[in-house]
Amino acid sequence: MPGADSPTFYLIVAAVFVLAGFVKGVVSIGLPTIVMGLLGAIVPPAQAAALMVIPSVATNIWQIAAGPRFLAVLRRLWTMLAGICVGTWFASGFLTGANVEQTRLALGVVLVLYGCTGFTRFNWRVPPRAERWLAPVVGVLTGLLAGATGVPVLPAVPYIQALGLNRDELFLALAFSPLISAIALGASLASAGVLGLTIAGASLLAMVPALVGMYFGQWLRMRTSDTAFRKVFFIGLIALGAYLAARNFG
């Protein structure tokens, strides 16, 4: 693996963010997952998470700005989002801890589990009466996993998909969770001294390839069905997660 100061390393990081932005542009989710899965395999996961913060915030703000019914979706999800903040703050010590291999193992397990959700055929639906108590629980659990692994997908994404939102509302909802998680994670990493000025500057630069990738991903989504792409995406997550988890037993 090239050194962290080599041009090859910077090209690899830029390519990862282009790919992550592209995936997000096509399927509306996936930037933290791709970044943590790929960069987390070659640098400490806490550093990968710190690099991800600004690109994640920027791409999700772009996604939210492009959608209608902003306030209606926010009112419906605010307790889940608050739970994400709480859970992320409490679990971030695991991500910044000294045991990198345990973090990679946890990240690998989350990626495999999330990849498997792409092949479930259950038509989950959350009854409206259950949202009041279920939303904050889902938020805290998502925050705990996000704080520990940098990936804010489980159980928030399956929960959001089970709310019966229309396409525009779903597009917005899938941006709120990673946006709030990135902000909470960024605050936790900054307080732990991981997200300093140098990493913040690198994260700001990484925003550029992420937005470029997202632009082309959205361009492709407008011109093709994303069903096949989603299958490849989830298969790739399972393979990547299995690789990260298996490294602990090699």
> Bigger pLDDT: 167 or 209?
209
Domain that holds residue 72: 7-249
Q: Is residue 1 part of a domain?
A: no
Query: pLDDT tens digits for 168-208?
Result: 788 888 888 889 999 999 998 998 888 889 999 999 999 99
Instruction: Say how many domains are in the chain.
Output: 1
- Is position 16 within any domain? yes
Confidence band for 230, pLDDT divided at 50, 70 and 90: confident
From 180, 217, 154, 230, select the one nearest 61 (Cα to Cα): 180
* pLDDT digit string, tens, across residues 63-90: 888 666 778 888 889 999 999 999 998 8
Closest among 158, 159, 108, 111 to 133, alpha carbons compared: 159
98 pLDDT band, cuts 50/70/90, is: low
